[in-house]
Amino acid sequence: MTTSPARAPFSVCVYCGSRLGKQPAYLALAEALGTAIGRRGWQLVYGGGRAGLMGAVADATLAAGGRVVGVIPESLMTLEVGHAGLSELHVVGTMHQRKQMMAERSDAFIAMPGGIGTFEELFEVWTWRHLGYHERPLGLLDAAGYWAPLLAFLRHSVAQGFMGDDQMAMLHTAADAESLLNTLFAARSSTAAADFNKI
Ligand code: AMP
């Protein structure tokens, strides 16, 4: 008798602040997202740190029974910010290897409130999608209207002809973790794995 290999759980990559931000709503959202991922039996993929919202999402996912995969570059690990309690922690050589591995291991991408690291990761994975390197869904998860000024600027960019409506349509937005997870799961890619080595 042959047994088919166990299917990997649906994996959600979360980009978010290595700080907590100034409003309790941000931490509450991080905990709600991690709890929702864990309760679904899904897997979190993230930057591997234990600081700020990053650590909060990871802890909440683990507490709710989910798996957590962290990918961290050696340079950040030696600053002793790596999370020690994860299901898998990959220490890689460079930031580029880290972002490639995070993308390879993920079926969908979410950006929560965060700073320049979060912005860079969101825009990179969005650009990769636009250029056809992958077909995985991505979304912005909002709390306290944090992303509203960015969304207004992005609409301005569309109005000024630098972005297309098709690009905007790739970015799902929600203020509720459960509904964003539902949307991203419904929009999951049915095509073969992307080739992030071509990037
Ligand atoms: P930021 O939004 O500037 O706080 O940066 C957070 C994002 O950048 C996360 O999604 C991580 O992937 C990465 N990052 C920044 N700082 C760290 C850190 N101390 N440990 C691990 N990843 C980090």
Q: Cα angle vertex 186, ends 48, 54, to 5°?
A: 15
Q: What whole-number distance in Å separates Cα of residue 24 and Cα of residue 59?
A: 17
Classified as helix, coil or strand, 58 is: helix
Q: Is pLDDT of 4 > 60?
A: no
Q: Are 17 and 114 in contact (CB under 8 A)?
A: yes
Report pLDDT digits (tens) over 59-115. Answer: 999 999 999 999 999 998 877 678 889 999 999 999 999 999 999 999 999 999 999
User: Looking at 115-188, which runs of residues are DSSP E strands?
Assistant: 138-141, 171-174
Interstrand relation of 88-92 and 108-111 (parallel, antiparallel or unpaired): unpaired
Residue 97 has what pLDDT?
96
pTM for this entry: 0.94
Average pLDDT of the chain is 94
Question: How close is the Cα of 6 to the center of ligand 1, in Å?
Answer: 31
What is the residue with the minimal CA distance to atom 21 of ligand 1?
A: 49
Measure the CA–CA gap between 87 and 106, rounded to whole angstroms.
15
The mean pLDDT value for 184-191 works out to 91
Q: Tell me, what's the pLDDT at 123?
A: 98
What is the C-alpha separation between 33 and 39, in angstroms, rounded? 10
* CB 121 less than 6 A from any atom of ligand 1: yes
Q: How far is the CA of 130 from the centre of ligand 1 (A)?
A: 23
Give the pLDDT band of residue 5 (cuts 50, 70, 90): low
Report H helices in 18-147. Answer: 24-39, 52-63, 74-77, 95-104, 116-130
Instruction: Tell which CATH architecture fits domain 11-186.
Output: 3-Layer(aba) Sandwich (3.40)
| Tokens standing for residue 60 | 């909440």
